Amino acid sequence: MEDIHKNNASTEESVQTIEEIEADKREQIAVLGASDAENCSFSQGYCKRQALYACLTCAKDGQPAAMCLACSYNCHDDCDLVELYTKRNFRCDCGTGKYHRKCKFDESKNHLNDENKYDFNFDGKYCQCRRPYPDPECPEDLKDAEMIQCILCEDWWHDCCLKLTKEELDNEDNDEMICPRCLCQPGLSFLRCYSISNTQTEIGSDECTKPINEPKSESGSFFFEDFRLKICKCVACIRLITDAKIEFLCDYADSVAAYEQIGIDAHEEEEKQADGQINNFLDKLDHNGQIKVAHG
């Protein structure tokens, strides 16, 4: 082990390393905490949201497919996997015929999941530039780019590919993001009315609370943390949402933040239970026993 007291630079690097490790641990708890690592999620049907992995080793004839957390650990632990973070309304493909191996949890799976949606993310490519992440041959202009997930298509974008200004990217109020590819699709541009960049928030009427102004742009847009709760639910706006098949936007539980909070809460509850068990053990010890435990 290196001496962290050699110089200030070494100390700062060590502290930064510890911070990075802790940050990675927090992210892992948030992303994986709400997913079951011991049981395949197939029997649950199309999960509202779950952590997913694509297998490049077992993919059959280049067909896109993905598996749940438990299958990534138990059925494809020796494979080349692509981490997809989380996706909505997806059913585990492991053992359904899309991979060259059976599911160890349920070898009787025999049908495809027709409602699953796939894109080039399942091949390990992201953004409009369709580059891998991590990117071993990353271009110079993307080396410092942050990856941000679109809440509609759930593709990941380099922040510099969103066609936004530095001021827009650095806004502290930024929460969820919708990419330019989605916002330029017919029937979806109205969502710009709710974007942070729309400063003209006058509403149409008491009945329709959607801002009248719809900014014209070819860029992506960021939205406030509570924007899902503020989406107008009048008859006309619900029709827009239904026609675009984005009803999930009106459900805060669909958000990654809500999913991650479930994992964080579960982890905190496990820690409380563990602390309680330790305290119960210590309470049963006599004074000499407690001293021995305290001194190792």
pLDDT tens track of the chain, all 296 residues?
Answer: 333 323 334 444 445 576 777 667 777 776 787 789 999 999 999 999 999 999 999 998 889 999 999 999 999 999 999 999 999 999 999 999 999 899 999 998 878 899 999 999 999 999 999 999 989 999 999 999 999 999 999 999 999 999 999 999 999 999 999 999 999 999 999 999 999 999 888 876 778 999 999 999 999 999 999 999 999 999 999 999 999 999 999 999 999 999 999 888 877 887 776 555 555 655 555 545 545 545 55
| pLDDT for the residue numbered 17 | 73
Chain center to CA of 126: 14
pLDDT at 296: 53
- Contact indicator for 190, 231 with CB cutoff of 8 Å: no
Residue 209 has which token pair?
A: 């609370």
pLDDT at 202: 84
* ∠ CA 107-111-117, rounded to 5°: 115
User: Residues 272, 279: contact at Cβ < 8 Å?
Assistant: no
Give the domain ranges of the chain: 19-137+255-296, 152-252
Burial class (CB in 10 A: 0-12, 13-18, 19+), 241: buried
For the question of whether the overall pTM of this predicted structure is more than 0.85, the answer is no
Residue 71: count of CB within 10 angstroms of its CB: 27
Alpha-carbon distance of 191 to 248, in angstroms, equals 14
Nearest C-alpha neighbor of 251 from the set 228, 220, 232:
228
pLDDT at 49: 96
